[in-house]
Amino acid sequence: MRIAVVPGDGIGQEVVPATLPALTMLSEAFGLGIDYDVFDWGADQWLATGVGLPSGALGHLARDYGAVFLGALGDPRIPDMAHGRDILLGLRKGLDLYVNHRPLVLRHGVVDLYRENTQGLYAGVGGSLTRFGEVTVAIDECVYTRDVVERFVRFCLGRLREQGRRKVTLVHKSNAVPNTGSLWQDVFRREMAAFPELTGSEEYVDSFCYNLVRDPTPYEGILASNLFGDIISDIGAALMGGLGLASSASVCPESGFALFEPVHGSAPDLVGKGTANPYAAAMSLALMFDHFGHGAAAGLLRDCLTEAADSEAATPDLGGKGSTRDFMDQVTALLERELVRRRIRPSTTGEL
Ligand code: NAD
Ligand code: IPM
Ligand code: MN
């Protein structure tokens, strides 16, 4: 299987390359046959050529690759993020990766946040009017079509049931944004009828955020529209211990194609320091292993990342002294140790 690796901008170019040795090691140890090509889509290419996502890229990816592994996009030289929308939203929407899973890994367990990834305020419907070069009218429409909400809700409820979850919360804002809000509520209630194992609740996004921060333990599954899911995932990252820890998978269930990326951005404040935390990027690889049915590789990677995050090699955001490289060196050393200890690979040193 081939993976398209897109480091992107800023710390994406630091954390993604740092995780690749672990990817290769696990692919070899478990015989997964994963291979990758690196694509230099991002700010430099946009500024040099005006090209974000090259024409034909979506077809090329769908034909020759199984997934994209992306770092982050965002560059201070492109303040309106035009290239980021072209590339990142281009991939999410163009490959119809409509389910964005952003697990909140918390002390008490995992809260599965599912974000609709193609429509809503990200539908790209809008425009502006200008007078003497100054914007006087600005419109971004929130668009949701019933079929898109239905397929998302149905898939997520199925996933939650498969995972033995019992509770699911729809996050909405139907009191102030009634049209899309009540469409979501209507779809959620109808789809829930087919899932008697699940207990549903509905919360306004403002009070939901308040409740989540005060006590996340009652939540198991969360369904949110595109923008609400984006915001909740950063709040969730704060609860997890920082953006350096939060990973995500964007999936098209029908084609199986998926994009794996950390939740964080290009962190211009950290660029060049060599201390960006690669944990979130590496955890996104664990989500990738899971997605392709390689649960053992995913579990091993998660175990080693967790152990490394508790060690001196942890990066400063976690209170450690390690660099991006130190941290991943520690992870690969732990992988070596565990591959032998778990008898997945014979010892190369003769030690048991
Ligand atoms: P950000 O996520 O890049 O950074 C927010 C804060 O978290 C910063 O203080 C940063 O230092 C810290 N942080 C982020 N990742 C970290 C890591 N791996 N290790 C340690 N600390 C980390 O958000 P921002 O500063 O608002 O955005 C910067 C740029 O990234 C903007 O251009 C934005 O549009 C873009 N962005 C892109 C993505 C993406 O590509 N998926 C996501 C979010 C933001
Ligand atoms: C994310 C980011 C993106 C989003 C931006 C960079 C377009 O914030 O992946 O969380 O809003 O989805
Ligand atoms: Mn975000």
Render 76-100 in DSSP notation, one character per residue: TTSTT-HHHIIIIIHHHHHTT--EE
Calculate how far, in angstroms, residue 242's C-alpha sits from the geometric centre of ligand 2: 16
Determine the pLDDT at residue 350.
Answer: 54
Q: How many helices (H) and strands (E) does the chain have?
A: 12, 12
Q: Is the pLDDT of residue 289 over 70?
A: yes
Q: Give the gyration radius of the chain's Cα atoms.
A: 21
Q: Is the pLDDT of residue 41 over 70?
A: yes
Q: Is the pLDDT of residue 210 over 60?
A: yes
Tens digits of residue pLDDT in 291-315: 999 999 999 999 999 999 999 999 9
For domain 1-97+252-352, the CATH architecture is 3-Layer(aba) Sandwich (3.40)
Calculate how far, in angstroms, residue 266's C-alpha sits from the geometric centre of ligand 2: 11
On average, the pLDDT of the chain sits at: 97
Does residue 314's CB lie within 6 angstroms of at least one atom of ligand 1?
no
| One fold for 1-97+252-352 and 101-243 | yes
For ligand 2, atom 9, which residue shows the shortest CA distance? 263
Choosing from 73, 85, 230 the residue with most ligand 2 atoms within 8 A of its CB, the one to mutate for a pocket test is 230
CB of 46 closer than 8 Å to CB of 110: no
CB of 7 closer than 8 Å to CB of 17: yes
- Strand 258-262, strand 247-251: pairing: antiparallel
What are the C-alpha distances in Å from 169 to residues 79, 100, 102, 136, 218? 35, 16, 15, 38, 10
DSSP 9: S
Phi, psi (degrees; rounded to nearest 5) at 173: -145, 50
Query: Cα–Cα–Cα angle for 6, 8, 14, nearest 5°?
Result: 95
Mean pLDDT over 209-232 rounds to: 98
The answer to whether the Cα torsion of 160, 95, 236, 331 is positive or negative is: positive
Euclidean distance between CA atoms 134 and 288, whole angstroms:
45
Q: Is the pLDDT of residue 201 over 90?
A: yes
Determine the pLDDT at residue 306.
Answer: 98
Does residue 230's CB lie within 6 angstroms of at least one atom of ligand 2?
yes
CA 72 to ligand 2: nearest atom = 6
DSSP 245: G
CA 117 to ligand 2: nearest atom = 12
AA letter at 112: D
Mean pLDDT over 31-53 rounds to: 98
Determine the pLDDT at residue 348.
Answer: 63
Choosing from 264, 269, 273 the residue with most ligand 1 atoms within 8 A of its CB, the one to mutate for a pocket test is 264
The structural domains of the chain, with segments of one domain joined by +, span 1-97+252-352, 101-243
Q: pLDDT exceeding 90 applies to what percent of the chain?
A: 97
Q: Note the Cα 267 to chain centre separation in Å.
A: 16
Does residue 205's CB lie within 6 angstroms of at least one atom of ligand 1?
no
Q: Is the pLDDT of residue 191 over 70?
A: yes
> What tokens appear for 144 in the block?
């949701």
Domain covering 101-243 in this structure, CATH number: 3.40.718.10
> What tokens appear for 196 in the block?
């008697």
Global pTM? 0.97
